[in-house]
Amino acid sequence: MTKLYVARSPRVAARSLDGEMMIMSGQDSTLFTLNKTATILWQAADGATPLDQIVEQKICREFEVEPAVAMKDAESLARQLASHGILQLDEQPIVSLGTGEPR
Amino acid sequence: MPELTTEVERLSLVIEIGGMPVRLHTCDIGFLRMLENRYAGFVSNSDRAEIEFDVDLTPPGTADPDADVRVTHRQGRWRFERGDFQAEWEPQCRRGWIRQSANPYSIDAVLRITHTLMLARQGGFLLHSASAIRNGKAFLFAGVSGAGKTTISRLAPRDATLLTDEISYVRQSSDGYSAFGTPFTGELAKLGENVSAPIGALYLLAKGQENRIDPISPPEAARSLLTNVLFFAEDEQLVQSIFHSAFEFVSRVPVLRLTFVPDARVWELIG
């Protein structure tokens, strides 16, 4: 099975405030507020950890959900975030330029 | 043989908003007089200018001032474009040019854009909000069109100094944030006073059945602030800068919801 890697886009501004992660697109200044699952995914998206590992180690533990179900949802979420330019997706590990880090 | 060329007199004036002087050069005395009238109270005698613009007037045309504005940054130079004007500004040499017909609306838009860019570099911003000074503090009233900015400005008591009924000028200072008066008007069509004061609070306006102030969560404060910040540029660095400035602002200035009925008693809660 092909691995999927996720990385925070360096082209966004991100900040966590009182547990809410807010992200603004650097391209069109659209503001997003991430829910709890999306926040976990965003924070773990280091470009080096495969998505299935993030799901198993972070999401399944937090939400007590079946890995297969969680993986399907996480992949859908990752593709949705990628379509807004918030995450980068690749089948290879992603070397990030380093901005867009959560604070 | 006599000289065939004539020397064109170069006229200029400085418009100082938010303590930032911008000098405009023109060859048209009628346009200069119009600017002096339009920006009365904001025309400065300052020799210093943060930016100097040469204004090149074009014949009146059918350009659309309602067209989308585009602000782009390339090779150290900002370019502003709308149906009714084009402008460029090179921050490093503090100079630029504006091409427009002799009307007050285009120059007003160019000044707003210029100030958003200058402020962003200093942790400040322009905000869709009315603002007024009372008892030595500035209070901002933010909201989209129809939220009540003009209404609350119109209801201001005599001891309140109106800074603007439409666009507030927010600058960061060593001990917090200050609001400055602006000539950018809304429905009230009344220029703000060219004065400033430390910001006491930002109120998010809501119309309701009673006058009351409610706290809001920091994330909601940040979201609401970002929704109301004037933003033109398609530039990632600038987006990042304004985004982080908004969070800094909500960490230092109280942001509250002000529900009000349209009568003057709402001002009993302010200041």
List chain A pLDDT tens, one digit each, 103 residues.
689 999 999 999 999 999 899 999 887 888 999 999 999 999 999 999 999 999 999 999 888 888 899 999 999 999 988 998 899 999 999 986 554 444 3
Contacting A residues, span 69-98, partner chain B, CB-CB under 8 Å: none
Boundary (domain end) residue, out of B89, B120, B151: B120
Q: Does B97 touch chain A (CB under 8 A)?
A: no
CA distance A66 to A61: 10
Residue B25 falls inside a structural domain: yes
List b or e across A60-84, with b for residues whose CB sees 16 or more CB atoms inside 10 angstroms: beeeebeeeebbebbbebbeebbee
Boundary (domain end) residue, out of B120, B149, B165: B120
Task: For residue A44, give its domain range.
Answer: 5-87
CA distance B219 to A22: 8
Q: What is the CATH number of the domain that holds A66?
A: 3.90.930
* Min Cα–Cα distance to chain B from A80, Å: 21
Q: Are residues B152 and B209 in the same domain?
A: yes
Residue B234 has pLDDT above 60, yes or no: yes
Residue B249 falls inside a structural domain: yes
CA distance B247 to B61: 43
Q: At what angle do helices B236-252 and B104-120 cross, to 10 degrees?
A: 70
Residue B27 has pLDDT above 70, yes or no: yes
pLDDT tens string B32-83: 999 999 999 999 998 889 999 999 999 987 677 778 899 999 999 999 999 9
Q: Are residues B178 and B106 in the same domain?
A: no
Nearest to B117 by CA among B33, B250, B229: B229
In order of B25, B115, B179, the CA distances from B250 in angstroms are 39, 21, 15
* Helices and strands counted in chain A (H then E): 4, 6
Residue B3 falls inside a structural domain: no
Backbone dihedral angles phi then psi of residue B94, each to the nearest 5 degrees: 60, 30
Q: Quote the pLDDT of residue B191.
A: 87
Residue B15 falls inside a structural domain: yes
Q: Are residues B44 and B169 in the same domain?
A: no
Q: Are residues B142 and B262 in the same domain?
A: yes
Top residue of B237, B239, B242, B255 to mutate, by most chain A CBs within 10 Å, is B239
Reading the block at residue B28, the tokens are 């048209």
Q: Does B218 touch chain A (CB under 8 A)?
A: yes
Q: What is the CATH number of the domain that holds B170?
A: 3.40.50
Q: Which residues of B touch A33 (CB under 8 A)?
A: 219, 223
Which of A11, A13, A27 lies closest to B243 in CB terms? A13
Average pLDDT rounded to a whole number, residues B235-247: 91
Q: Are residues B130 and B207 in the same domain?
A: yes
CB within 8 A of B24, min separation 6: which ones?
A: B12, B13, B14, B15, B35, B52, B53, B55, B98, B107
Residue A95 falls inside a structural domain: no
Q: Quote the pLDDT of residue B146.
A: 85
Average pLDDT rounded to a whole number, residues B215-233: 93
Reading the block at residue B61, the tokens are 């045309």
CA distance B184 to B112: 8
pLDDT tens string B136-164: 999 999 988 888 999 999 999 999 999 99
Q: Does B68 touch chain A (CB under 8 A)?
A: no
Q: Are residues B151 and B263 in the same domain?
A: yes
- Are residues B44 and B36 in contact, defined by beta-carbon separation less than 8 angstroms? no
Q: Quote the pLDDT of residue A14.
A: 95
Number of residue pairs across A and B with CB atoms under 8 Å? 43
Mean pLDDT of chain B: 92
Task: For residue B247, give its domain range.
Answer: 125-269
B5 — pLDDT class (breaks 50, 70, 90): low
Q: Are residues B101 and B130 in the same domain?
A: no
CB within 8 A of B188, min separation 6: which ones?
A: B150, B153, B154, B165, B166
The answer to whether the complex's ipTM is over 0.85 is no
Q: Which residues of A touch B219 (CB under 8 A)?
A: 17-18, 20, 22, 33
Q: How far is CA B135 from the centre of its chain?
A: 23
Residue B10 has pLDDT above 50, yes or no: yes
Q: Would you say the C-alpha torsion B16, B17, B22, B26 has a positive or negative sign?
A: negative
Q: Quote the pLDDT of residue B188.
A: 75
Q: Name the domain count of chain A.
A: 1
Q: Dihedral (C-alpha) A56, A61, A63, A67: value to the nearest 10 degrees?
A: 30
- Are residues B105 and B94 in contact, defined by beta-carbon separation less than 8 angstroms? no
Q: At what angle do helices A36-44 and A67-83 cross, to 10 degrees?
A: 80
Q: Which residues of B touch A30 (CB under 8 A)?
A: none
CA distance B9 to B84: 25
* Min Cα–Cα distance to chain A from B125, Å: 15
Q: Name the domain count of chain B.
A: 2
Q: Which residues of A touch B249 (CB under 8 A)?
A: none
Residue A75 falls inside a structural domain: yes
Residue A79 falls inside a structural domain: yes
Residue B52 falls inside a structural domain: yes
Q: Are residues B148 and B77 in the same domain?
A: no
